[in-house]
Amino acid sequence: MTVADQSLPMLGASNFRPKRPVTMARQRRALTVYAVLFLTGLAPLLLQSQPWLQAAGLGLWMPGGGFLVDGGWYAALFPLTLILFLFSLVAWFWAGVVIAPPSVWGGSAVLAAVLARHAAGPVPHGVVALALVATVGFFYHRNAQRKVSDAQQRAARTQFLPKSIAEVRERSSSTPDASARELSTESLAAMRYLWDRALQPVEQFGGFDVVEQFQPSALRYQINHMGFVLGIAQGSYLPNFHGYHMDAQNNLIQKYLLRKVWGYWVYESCWGHLEFSNFDPAARDNIMLTGWFGMHVGQYMLNSGDRRYTKDGSLSFRLNDRTTYKHDFHTIINSVVENYEHYESQFCLYPCEPNWIYPICNHYGMTSLAVHDRLFGTNYVGRFLPTWLEKLDTEFTDDKGSIIGLRSKHLGVEVPFPVGEAGYSHFENCFAPERAQRLWAIARKEIEPLLTTGRDGLPRLKFPGKGFDVGNYSTGHVAAYAGVLAAAREFGDDDLAAAAQRGLDEDCSPDMTGGVRRYLTGSNLANTAAALGSIIRTGDYRRSFVEGPSERTLAGPLLAEARYPDVLVGRAYSDGDDLQLVLYPGNSEGRHTLGLSRLKPGQRYMVTGGEATEFVATGSGTATLDVMLRGRTAISVSPAS
Residue 474 or residue 550: which is nearer to other proteins going by CB? 474
Residue 93 or residue 573: which is nearer to other proteins going by CB? 93
d(CA 638, CA 177): 20
What is the sign of the dihedral through the CA atoms of 454, 460, 465 and 466?
negative
358 phi/psi in degrees, rounded to 5: -105, 115
| 200 contributes a contact to other proteins by CB under 8 A | yes
Write out the binding residues for other proteins, residues 427-446 only, by CB under 8 A: 427
Closest CA to 503 of 491, 521, 515: 521
Kind and range of the H or E element at 467? none
214 phi/psi in degrees, rounded to 5: -110, -35
Write out the binding residues for other proteins, residues 524-543 only, by CB under 8 A: 524-527, 529, 532
* CA distances (Å), origin 8, targets 36, 394, 399: 40, 11, 14
Count the residues in the chain.
641
Closest CA to 18 of 365, 359, 436, 369: 359
- Exactly one of 10, 31, 80, 133 binds other proteins (CB under 8 A); that residue is 80
- Exactly one of 167, 209, 280, 507 binds other proteins (CB under 8 A); that residue is 209
| 512 contributes a contact to other proteins by CB under 8 A | no
For residue 537, the minimal CB distance to other proteins (Å) is 17
Residue 83 or residue 616: which is nearer to other proteins going by CB? 83
Binding range to other proteins, per CB under 8 A, among 139-147, 387-395, 472-480, 566-574: 472-480
* Cα angle for residues 444, 448, 450 (degrees, 5° grid): 125
Q: Which residues of 82-103 are buried (b: 16+ CB within 10 A; e: fewer)?
A: bebbeebeebbbebbbbbbbee
For residue 462, the minimal CB distance to other proteins (Å) is 18
- Exactly one of 208, 262, 264, 380 binds other proteins (CB under 8 A); that residue is 208
| 31 contributes a contact to other proteins by CB under 8 A | no
| 519 contributes a contact to other proteins by CB under 8 A | yes
Is 639 in a helix, a strand, or coil? Answer: strand
Residue 281 or residue 420: which is nearer to other proteins going by CB? 420
| 210 contributes a contact to other proteins by CB under 8 A | yes
| 114 contributes a contact to other proteins by CB under 8 A | yes
| 110 contributes a contact to other proteins by CB under 8 A | yes
Binding range to other proteins, per CB under 8 A, among 75-83, 279-287, 445-453, 570-578: 75-83
Contact assessment for residue 486 and residue 426, using Cβ atoms and an 8 Å cutoff: yes
| 115 contributes a contact to other proteins by CB under 8 A | yes
- Exactly one of 111, 233, 567, 572 binds other proteins (CB under 8 A); that residue is 111
| 468 contributes a contact to other proteins by CB under 8 A | yes
Residue type, 361: C
- Exactly one of 54, 81, 187, 355 binds other proteins (CB under 8 A); that residue is 81
Write out the binding residues for other proteins, residues 582-621 only, by CB under 8 A: none
The interface mask with other proteins, positions 216-235, x = CB under 8 A, is: x----x--xx----------
306 phi/psi in degrees, rounded to 5: -80, 130
For residue 308, the minimal CB distance to other proteins (Å) is 26
Contacts of 216 (CB under 8 A, 6+ apart): 470, 471, 525
* Cα angle for residues 313, 263, 289 (degrees, 5° grid): 65
186 phi/psi in degrees, rounded to 5: -65, -45
Write out the binding residues for other proteins, residues 561-580 only, by CB under 8 A: none
- Exactly one of 135, 152, 185, 204 binds other proteins (CB under 8 A); that residue is 204
For residue 209, the minimal CB distance to other proteins (Å) is 5
| 522 contributes a contact to other proteins by CB under 8 A | yes
| 244 contributes a contact to other proteins by CB under 8 A | no
d(CA 359, CA 406): 7
| 42 contributes a contact to other proteins by CB under 8 A | no
* CA distances (Å), origin 203, targets 111, 192, 251, 257: 46, 20, 9, 10
* CA distances (Å), origin 124, targets 50, 134, 293: 15, 15, 52
Write out the binding residues for other proteins, residues 350-389 only, by CB under 8 A: 358, 360-361, 363-364
Contact assessment for residue 203 and residue 257, using Cβ atoms and an 8 Å cutoff: no
For residue 554, the minimal CB distance to other proteins (Å) is 28
Residue 150 or residue 575: which is nearer to other proteins going by CB? 150
Residues in the interface with other proteins (CB under 8 A) total 83
Residue 60 or residue 357: which is nearer to other proteins going by CB? 357
| 117 contributes a contact to other proteins by CB under 8 A | yes
For residue 211, the minimal CB distance to other proteins (Å) is 5
Residue 176 or residue 207: which is nearer to other proteins going by CB? 207
Residue 115 or residue 579: which is nearer to other proteins going by CB? 115
- Exactly one of 41, 96, 354, 423 binds other proteins (CB under 8 A); that residue is 423
For residue 213, the minimal CB distance to other proteins (Å) is 11
Residue 305 or residue 467: which is nearer to other proteins going by CB? 467
d(CA 128, CA 163): 53
Binding range to other proteins, per CB under 8 A, among 67-75, 311-319, 333-341, 385-393: 67-75
For residue 420, the minimal CB distance to other proteins (Å) is 5
For residue 181, the minimal CB distance to other proteins (Å) is 23
Binding range to other proteins, per CB under 8 A, among 151-159, 249-257, 414-422, 627-635: 414-422
d(CA 111, CA 109): 5
Question: What is the number of other CB atoms lying within 10 angstroms of the CB of residue 37?
Answer: 16
Whether the bond into 459 is cis, omega within 30 of 0? no
For residue 71, the minimal CB distance to other proteins (Å) is 10
Contact assessment for residue 334 and residue 298, using Cβ atoms and an 8 Å cutoff: no
For residue 350, the minimal CB distance to other proteins (Å) is 15
d(CA 396, CA 403): 6
- Exactly one of 299, 523, 534, 574 binds other proteins (CB under 8 A); that residue is 523
SS (H, E, C) 495-545: HHHHHHHHHHHHHCCEECHHHCCEECCCCHHHHHHHHHHHHCCCCHHHHHH
